[in-house]
Amino acid sequence: MSYELVLGNYTYSSWSLRGWLLLHRFDIPFRVRRVDFLDGSVADQVAALRPARTVPVLVADDGAVIWDSLAIAEEIASRHPDAGIWPSDPAARAMARSLAAEMHASYGALRGECPMHLRTAYSDYAISDEARADVARIEDLWSFARARFGGDGPWLCGAYSAADAFFAPIAARFATYGLGTGDAARDYVAAHLGDPAFRRWRAMGIARQEHLPWYDRDAPRTDWPGPAPRAARAVEDGTPENDACPYSGKDITHLLEIDGRVFGFCNAFCRDKTLADPEAWPAFTALL
């Protein structure tokens, strides 16, 4: 079974991030098709996938169309029961499903005031009492779930599950807007920011450099609180150590330099996503 996942913008589309993590994080093969938020309505761009009207949309090779991230989680859990989408322990699984469902349906004030924006962070960003109530509820849920089911790991219900994929965009908001005060929130957000899959998604947004100004907020900006990427730069000349692109295996057309060493890639996007966070990409770090 293989799939096509229709996505929106890597930097701003929190729903798309959830859908991508649900497949990428659990090693389920898929290919990506992107819609551009500047090219008209999403509904028009996915009209051929009726009745879908939003992203993400998952299209299975048997013709099934799944157009909601919670439905995607449940459907791939049914189709791939050994993938670990939900915890195997019944009580932990019930908790994870409840967490994902609440996140899917709630926190309207926080979402409206603090849209996901993975290319910046703000300091002294003021939110309403309603959004603060959302933050308090989220912190309480994270603390409760981790205390009961988290064990020694950083995730909500033991091993990484769909609940964590659903809360990844919320963790990103906490990072962008400096939200949360408790140790549990700080540790859980840090786990997402350091997660290689999350870092790969964010790096692709940096590489795309697509700016949607209506997501910007009027507040002082500060450094992204996640792991600092290893320094690298694009170069025009040099002899690459590798013979083919580490991602596609295709011929080399673009170069980067890191620690005085030169590596090649098959196109600008492959190079630029690596520039954004070299250590997020196993195929590249294998070259290093």
pLDDT tens, position by position, 228-287: 999 999 999 999 999 999 999 999 999 999 999 999 999 999 999 999 999 999 999 999
In this structure, the number of other CB atoms found within 10 A of the CB of residue 187 comes to 13
59 plus 96 within the same structural domain? no
116 plus 161 within the same structural domain? yes
164 plus 187 within the same structural domain? yes
Instruction: State the alpha helices, DSSP H only, in 25-114.
Output: 42-45, 69-79, 90-105, 108-113
182 plus 252 within the same structural domain? no
The answer as to whether 258 is a domain residue is yes
Give 126-146 pLDDT, tens digit per residue.
Answer: 999 999 999 999 999 999 999
Average pLDDT, the chain: 97
Q: To 10 degrees, what angle do helices 90-105 and 162-177 make?
A: 50
The answer as to whether 224 is a domain residue is no
The answer as to whether 223 is a domain residue is no
The answer as to whether 221 is a domain residue is no
Q: And the tokens for 77? A: 């859990």
pLDDT at res. 223: 97
75 plus 94 within the same structural domain? no
68 plus 137 within the same structural domain? no
The answer as to whether 216 is a domain residue is no
* Residue 181 pLDDT greater than 90, yes or no: no
Task: Indicate the number of domains in the chain.
Answer: 3
pLDDT at res. 1: 80
Give 32-85 pLDDT, tens digit per residue.
Answer: 999 999 999 999 999 999 999 999 999 999 999 999 999 999 999 999 999 999
CATH of residue 37's domain is 3.40.30.10
The answer as to whether 84 is a domain residue is no
Percent of the chain whose pLDDT exceeds 70: 100
The answer as to whether 226 is a domain residue is no
Q: 């670990």: which residue's tokens?
A: 84
Domain of 278, in residue numbers: 233-287
Q: ω before 115 within 30° of 0 (cis)? A: no
66 plus 151 within the same structural domain? no
In this structure, the number of other CB atoms found within 10 A of the CB of residue 218 comes to 6
73 plus 106 within the same structural domain? no
The answer as to whether 67 is a domain residue is yes
